[in-house]
Structure formats: structure tokens, C-alpha cells
A and B are shown apart, each in its own frame.
Chain A
Amino acid sequence: MRFATPPSPYLAPARHTPRIMAEVSLALVPGLAALVVQFGPGVLIQCLVALVAALLAEAAALRLRGRPSAATLWDGSAALTAVLLAVSLPPLAPVWVAGFGAVFAILVGKQLYGGLGHNPFNPAMVGYAVLLVSFPKPMTAWLAPLDLSAAPLGFAETWNAIFQRELPEGLGFDALTLATPLDSLKNPSASAAIPSVGAGWAWVNSGFLLGGLWLLGRKLIDWRIPVGFLGALSACALMAFLWDAAHPPTPLFHLFGGATMLGAFFIATDPVTAATTPKGRWIHGAGCGALVFAIRAYGGYPDGVAFAVLLMNLAAPTLDHYTRPRVYGT
């Protein structure tokens, strides 16, 4: 008999990268559902737009680089980037916002560096940051949560609003949109509105928290990053709160407002761009949390998650270098 002689080991790996991507996407469902319930079907349309744009951009880039496209296109990483970007966008943002963001995220955030695994920055956050810097107006115009909104839009109306910028008779974009509750941090006079306005966001954050806990249970993400993230954010928020209790926000508001849970479980944990050593991951997570607080409290943008993660991405190689574990026998 003759046999093939591939090198050992021969056991099949327990996990497969495309499957990990799929499971992480699945874990986004509770948060996504909460977004839809709170802000209407616009979120789903943004996802669709971002998905189409991201996959087209990925396919085009792979063709240009002469890479085999089928396997890479469906490894799930581009789709995950698209969804992470889409859930960060205002639900009624015009179609070109999500389209441009997704294409930029894939082309510049990922493929320009050599594709999956080679990008130093989280592509979804690269796309988000570029949109926020370039188009601050549509990017900060969030819908009011449904329970505060006078006339919730149906699917067709939302579609028209996103694609044609048309709203039903008598409605204007200004009437529908509202700055996110985090904006009120910059504007103390509005702080009275915080508790009620924050309610819709608490649901969304709970949804992402639920998905994140499931990821932790499946050991698909390293627990050190979200624990470090939420721990550092809570600690900073608590100190600030104790310092000046007359002026909310409370630590809970920080934890369940804005993109906190999405950032802690889905964005900062992106393995490609996070630190990889155990100690490095602690620092990475805690750094993100502290930066989120700093940007929210003192920075120029309402929410700090994207910039905090991007900044820590920048630090990840250094963290890895200085937190190398001690090798056996050395």
C-alpha cells in the first residue's frame, strides 16, 4: 500500500475562522433586535446597505490583488465589519453614509494593509471614524427612541427616508432626530432629560451585553478585554460621580449608554487588532475603557468608543512586546 505523508499533527482543529465570524455575528442579534425595537427598521436597512457595499468592495479588492476570492469573501470577516459599522450609524442616515463607510472600512481599513489579519486598526471603527470626522451632521443625528417619537416610521417610509431623503407629509428630519443622550454630557443644561432619553439605549446595551456574555460562554472572545474595559470605565465614572454627585451621569449611565457594550464585547475584542498576550489584553481592555470615559467627559465627540479602540489598536504591538509571557525553562 502507498500512503500520503502530510506532516503532523493530524487532528482536526476544533474551530474554524469563518465559523467564529458567523458566531460573533449571531451574537449581535439581541443588540440588533433591541435597536430595531427602539429605533425602527432603519437599522436593518443600514445593515443591508453596509453588507452589500462591503462585500462588493472586498470582491473588487481581492480581484485587484489577484487573490482567490470565493473563500475569503465568505470567511465572514467583511460581513462582520459591515454589521459592526451599520449598528453604529444613525438609523436614518442617508444611504451613501453607510455605503461610503463600509467601502472605506474594507478598502482602506483592511485590504490596503493586506487583508484579513494584517490590518492594525479595527476596520469598522476606521469606517466609523472617517464618517464622523467627514460628515458630522448626519452622523450625530440619531432618531429619538420610538417611545419618545411622535410618529414612528414604517419600513417603507424609513426606506424612502434613507434612499430618497423623503419623509411623510408634515415631518422633518429635525423633528425626528435628537442628539444622543451622550451629547448632553457636553451640554449640562440638557442633563435633566438624561434618565428618560437613556432608557432606549439601556435596552440596546443590554442586548449587546447578552450577546457578549454568550460569546464569553462559548470562549469566542477573551474575557480579559470586556472585563478590563467595563472595569476601567466604571472606575473612572464612579470617581467622577463621587467627585461631583450633583451632576450626573452615573456610572450606570456610562455603562448602558452609547456604544459601551458593543465596544466592550464586539469591537475592543477584535482579535486581529487587540493585544494578544494575557497581560496585554488586560491593559488593552482597561485602556479602551479609560479612554472612552476621557473622550466622553473631556473630548470633542459625544461617544468615545471608536476613537478609544483605534488608539488602543495603535498601542497593541507595543503592549504585546512588553507583556511577553515567561517561556518554560527560561
Chain B
Amino acid sequence: MKLWNFHGGLRLDGHKQDSTQLPPRTAALPARLVYPLPQRGGVLAQAQVAIGERVLKNQVIARDPLDQQPPLHAASSGFVVAIEALPLPHPSGLSDLCLVIETDGADEALACSGVEDFRQHPPAALRRLIHEAGIVGLGGAAFPTARKIAPGSRPIDTLILNGAECEPYITCDDSLLRHHAAAVLAGGAILRHILGAGRVWLAVENERTEALAALRSAQAGGTGDIEIVPVPTLYPTGGEKQLIQVLTGREVPNHGLPADIGVACLNVGTAAAVYRAVVHGQPLIERIVTVTGRGVREPRNFLARIGTPIADLIGQAGGYTEAAERLILGGPMMGHALPRDDLPLVKAANCLLIAGRGEFLAETRALPCIRCGACAEVCPIHLLPQQLYWYSRSGQLERAADHQLSACIECGCCDVACPSRIPLVQHFRAAKGLAAAKQREREHADHARQRHEARAARKAEEQRERAAAAQRRKANLDKAAAVKEALARAKQKRATKAPTPSPEPHPADSEASEP
């Protein structure tokens, strides 16, 4: 099959073998499970259970009141012991409402059953089922899957299952493909049915030979209509836009969605979760997560329950080494450093990277930009980072926007290529934040102006109405006066002429003429 290239990219040392030496393991049931209630997009899910209530595994414990985000399910049985502000897995270290379950060890589950033959069910019903199963994208962005596979502006002709895990160190998708290839393929078949996609491609980095072999042998047992495509090992091939470009040669329009070019791209972990939800009725209560880096003794992959405290998992990976220095959620290119380890594992958490001293760059002072262009050479979006840096640093947001700052995917390639060690991405994030704030302000101002204009228009209208009314009144008065005058004139005429009886004598007239 023909593959295309994207501009730039980096060949990085993958460090994938670090966490795949040891076989994956199912993480032990923790004493507490913690579920942050803030959801993607800033909505707060509402607890569906009360403090003190016993919950069962698979039970819905919280729901987005707007139903935009899928519900949260308990990963084991136990008692709800708190709904309180706890630190969230975020670099800011901010706290927000979390629901805490103390597990009781029984691991008693709600019975769940899937559908017999998904082909007998309409896509809408399956989407609903996927939504109710709490499934979000497991590649790291946690976008609700049911919304991603909802019918869009044009039909989907191509479904891409993304197994090109290009960030160094992360191997959770690799582990999934090695050990659960059949589930991924089965999930792909279901997604294809829902989307009505003509073709399905499953992309895996060509260096993941075990995963490719596992997929091929799983395929030998059926579901042969999914094409397995080895793609070059080049960061960021696993980025949605890059992978689509590599496979189809098409570009997702700037500010557009893959659906706009007839493509749907889902992570392989998401496909496996869809399979379990549809065929077995299992909600998303666990995921594979990589625990790796020089700061942890036994790097490996875990099948861990969502809500498990991060410190628990690190403990099960042999604990910290003396060198442990940094805790990163995600990979070294796009991950976020966490300030502490008493934080829960969320659905989006694909990797816990515990960096050892000297493993990564210490924070250094940036040197001036020498315009060497190394950043532009590696940018997969074909931006000019050095110009963006210049504009965003000097606050020229319009020029930065003109250079398509908003198209930056924050992949970090430019940063790593920059010999002056300028934290470019940091500047871009800041500038984007600023631009967004400005935009909101502008919208705010627009709203205010519109409100003001509407009020002014209303007032003007009222005034016009009033003026018109006054005029009408005046006109009426004038008419009345004219009538009166005419009457008076007629009376006068009558008085001068011989009195003739009126055909219909007015009572007043007759009264007046009576004496």
C-alpha cells in the first residue's frame, strides 16, 4: 500500500523496550478508588450515588448533566466515603470535586450483557451503548467516542485504527496489540459497521514487530477485512493529522475535523473498549497503562482500574529508584509533569513516566534564536516556529495568527530541534491562551455591543411609536376640532335659515327646541 510523507518529524530513541521486558500485569485492587468529577470541557459530572452508599463494580456513579460526556462507572464494589475537593492529575496541582470509593475486596459486579450480533443493531443504538459504557478516546485526549463516531457532514469512507504509538517510552498500545489483538480487530469491525466505512486500516509503527505478528495471527482467525499497515517510526506519526496524511495523503483542513475529509481515526485501545462494551456489555473501568522511566525499579505495563492512585501503581512497579526526579503523565514530548503521586489514574492516562536524574534535560537558560531554521525543518505542520516565537514573544498576536499559530499541534519537535534550547512550545501555548482570552473578550464585547444596540434600537422604536401615537392623537384632535367647527357652521346656517325639522331630531336638539 502506498504511504505518504509528512513534512519534518523527528527520529527519537523510543525506549520502548524499557517497559516491555517484563510481561504486563493486572494491577492489584487498591484500597481506594478516586474519580475526579470535572470532565473534559469543564463540565462537572453529578454524583449518582450518596455518601455511605454501597456501589457495585460497573455501576454508574456520576453523570454529566448535559450528557455530553459519557458517565463514570465504579471499578470495584465498595462504599462511597467522600465527595470532596482533592488534587487532580494536572500540572497546576489544583483541587476539585472527586468521588471516593473505599473498596470492600468483594469486587462484586453488576451483571452486564452485550448484544448478540451487533450487525442486527442500528448504529444509533450502538452509539448509545458505547456512550453509556463510558468510553472516551484512550490515546490521551479522552474525547467522547460516541460523539466522534456520530454522523457528520459527509459519510466516512475510511476508518483508521491508530496503533502508531510514536511518543517515546509509551507501550500501552503495543502491549494491548501483543496480548489482545483479537479484541482490537473485533472493535474495528463494530466501528466500521457503525460508521459505514468502506475500508479500515490499522496502523502500527514498523518497529513494533511483535505487535504486528500478533495482529497477523489474530487476523488468521477471521475479521480479515481490516488492513494492517506498518508505518514508518517517525515522531509524530501517531498524531491524528500526521497519520491521516501518511495513510491517505489527505490533509485535515485547518480548523476542521477528520470527518470533513471522510476519515475517522480512533485509538486501538478505544476499539478494544468498544468491543468489550458492545459484545460483553462491559463499561470502561480499566485500561492499560505504562509505568516506566529510570525513576522506577521495574518498568512494565499494567491493566489498572480507572481511579487507582498513581502511587499504588508505582509501588507495584517496584517503587521509585533513588534517581527518581520527575513524574510525567504521558510521554516526554507531549506529557505533563505532575507535582505529586497521590493522584488518581484517569481514563486518558496512557503512561506514567518517572524520569531519573539526568534522563531528561535539566531546565536550562535559553540562548538567543540564531534563525537557524532547524525548528522549521522538523515542524510536521510546516509552520515557521522561529517567526511564531518572535511574534508570540513580542505580543504580536495578529501576526502570529497570520502565521497559523492555531494550527500548531504542540508536538514539541521544534523545541527538541532548537540548538538554542528555546522553550518554543511553552511560548506557543501561552500565546494561544492569550489569543483565546482575547477572542473571548472580543465575543464578550460583541455580545455587549449587540445587547446595547438591541436596546438602543428598542428605545428608538418605542420613541418612534410614541411620536406616532402623539401624532395620531393630534390628528384626531384636529379632526375633532374640524368636525366641531363644521357643526358650528352648520348650526349657524340653520339659525339663519328658517327652522326646518331635522329628519332625525337629536334628543338634545329636540330638548332644546321644546320650550
Residues of A at under 8 Å CB distance from B? 1-20, 71-72, 75, 77, 115-118, 222, 271-274, 276-277, 281, 320, 324-330
Chain B residue nearest to A71 (CB atoms) is B365
Interface pair B253/A10, CB less than 8 Å apart: no
Q: Of all chain B residues, which has the CB nearest A1?
A: B341
Q: Is the CB of A329 within 8 A of B335?
A: no
Give the B interface residue count (CB, 8 A). Answer: 68
Q: Cβ of B147 < 8 Å from any Cβ of A?
A: no
Residues of B within 8 A of A272 (CB): 370-371
B415 part of interface (Cβ distance < 8 Å): yes
**A13/B425 contact (C-beta < 8 A), A5-B338, A117-B369, A328-B380 known:** no
| Cβ < 8 Å to A, chain B residues 322-338 | 324-328, 330, 332-338
**A315-B311 Cα distance, complex, nearest whole Å:** 58
> In the assembled complex, which residues on chain B have CB atoms less than 8 Å from the CB atom of A19?
419
Contact B241 A8 (CB under 8 A): no
**CB <8 Å contact, B404 and A5:** no
A324 touches which one: B368, B384, B419 (CB < 8 A)?
A: B384
Interface residue B188 (Cβ < 8 Å from any Cβ of A):
no
How far is the CB of A77 from the nearest CB of chain B, in Å? 8
Q: Which residues of B contact A75 (CB under 8 A)?
A: 367
Closest to A20 in B: B419
**A281 CA / B374 CA spacing, docked (Å):** 13
Interface string of B399-423 (1 = CB under 8 A from A): 0000110010000100111111101
Residue B100 is within 8 A (CB to CB) of chain A in the complex: no
B379 to chain A, nearest CB (A): 9
> Are the C-beta atoms of B325 and A3 separated by less than 8 Å?
yes
CB contact between B326 and one of A4, A11, A18 (< 8 Å): that residue: A4
Given pairs A1-B340, A329-B241, 5 additional interface contacts (CB within 8 A): A3-B340, A5-B337, A11-B333, A75-B367, A118-B368
Inside 8 A of A3's CB, which chain B residues have their CB? 325-327, 337-341
B290 to chain A, nearest CB (A): 16
Residues of A within 8 Å of B254, CB to CB, are 327-330
Question: A326, B382: Cβ atoms under 8 Å?
Answer: yes
- Chain B residues near A329 (CB-CB < 8 A): 241, 251-256, 381, 407
A-B contact pairs, 9 of them (CB 8 A): A3-B325, A4-B326, A8-B337, A10-B337, A11-B361, A11-B412, A116-B367, A327-B383, A328-B251
- Evaluate contact between A327 and B382: CB separation under 8 angstroms: yes
Known: A3-B325, A327-B382, A330-B404. A9 touches B376 (CB 8 A): no
Docked complex Cα distance between A274 and B382 (Å): 19
Known: A5-B91, A329-B253. A11 touches B332 (CB 8 A): yes
Tell me the minimal C-beta distance from A205 to chain B in angstroms.
Answer: 25
Q: Out of B6, B168, B256, name the residue touching A11 (CB < 8 Å).
A: B168
When chains A and B are docked, how far (Å) is the Cα of A13 from the Cα of B324? 21
Q: Are A117 and B407 in contact (CB under 8 A)?
A: no
- Neighbouring B residues of A20 by C-beta, 8 Å: 370, 372, 419
Measured CB to CB, the residues of B under 8 A from A are: 6-7, 12, 91, 93, 168, 241, 245, 251-256, 311, 320, 324-328, 330, 332-341, 355, 360-361, 363, 365, 367-374, 376, 380-384, 386-387, 403-404, 407, 412, 415-421, 423, 425-426, 429
Distance (whole angstroms) from the CB of A280 to the closest CB of chain B: 9
Please, which residue of chain B has its CB at the minimum distance from the CB of A321? B387
By Cβ-Cβ distance, the 3 closest A-B pairs, closest first, are A9-B412, A117-B368, A12-B361
The reply to whether A325 and B419 form a contact with Cβ atoms under 8 Å apart is no
How far apart sit A276 and B241, CA to CA, in the bound complex (Å)?
25
Question: Nearest B residue to A116 by beta-carbon distance?
Answer: B368
**Contacting pair B241 A13 (CB below 8 A):** no
Assuming the contacts A324-B384, A328-B407, asked whether A11 and B416 have C-beta atoms less than 8 A apart, the reply is: yes
Bound form: Cα–Cα A127–B6 in Å: 42
Q: Are A276 and B373 in contact (CB under 8 A)?
A: yes
Q: In whole Å, how far is A219's beta carbon from the nearest beta carbon of chain B?
A: 9
User: Contacts A117-B368, A327-B383: A2 and B253 contacting too (C-beta < 8 A)?
Assistant: no
Q: Is the CB of B332 within 8 A of A13?
A: no
Q: Is the CB of B370 within 8 A of A17?
A: yes
Residue of A nearest to B380 (CB): A328
Cα distance, A77 to B225, chains bound together (Å)? 59
Q: Is the CB of B412 within 8 A of A8?
A: yes
Instruction: Check A117/B370 contact, CB under 8 A, given A20-B419, A329-B254, A330-B404.
Output: yes
Q: Distance in Å from the Cβ of B415 to the closest Cβ of chain A?
A: 5
A1 to B314, CA, bound (A): 11
Given the complex, which residues of A lie within 8 Å of B407, measured CB to CB? 327-330
Cα separation A208 to B7 with both chains bound (whole Å): 32
- In the complex with contacts A115-B368, A329-B251, A330-B407, A276-B386 CB distance below 8 A: yes
Assess the B421–A327 pair: CB atoms within 8 A.
no
Residue pair B327, A1 in contact (C-beta under 8 Å): yes
Q: Which residues of A contact B376 (CB under 8 A)?
A: 276-277, 325
> Complex: how many Å from CA A205 to CA B386?
33
Q: How far is A34 from B321 in the complex, measured between Cα atoms in Å?
A: 55
> CA A274 – CA B360 in complex, angstroms?
32
Query: Which residue of B is nearest A115, CB measured?
Result: B368
> Given the complex, which residues of A lie within 8 Å of B382, measured CB to CB?
325-328
User: Which residues in A have their C-beta under 8 angstroms from that of B426?
Assistant: 7
B441 to chain A, nearest CB (A): 25
What's the Cα separation between A75 and B365 when bound, in Å? Answer: 13
Q: Which of B6, B339, B404, B418 contacts A327 (CB 8 A)?
A: B404
Which residues of B are found within 8 Å of A277, using beta-carbon distances? 373, 376, 384
Q: Which of B311, B326, B370, B415 contacts A13 (CB 8 A)?
A: B415
- The interface centre, meaning the residue of A5, A9, A222, A329 with most chain B CB atoms within 10 A of its CB, is A9
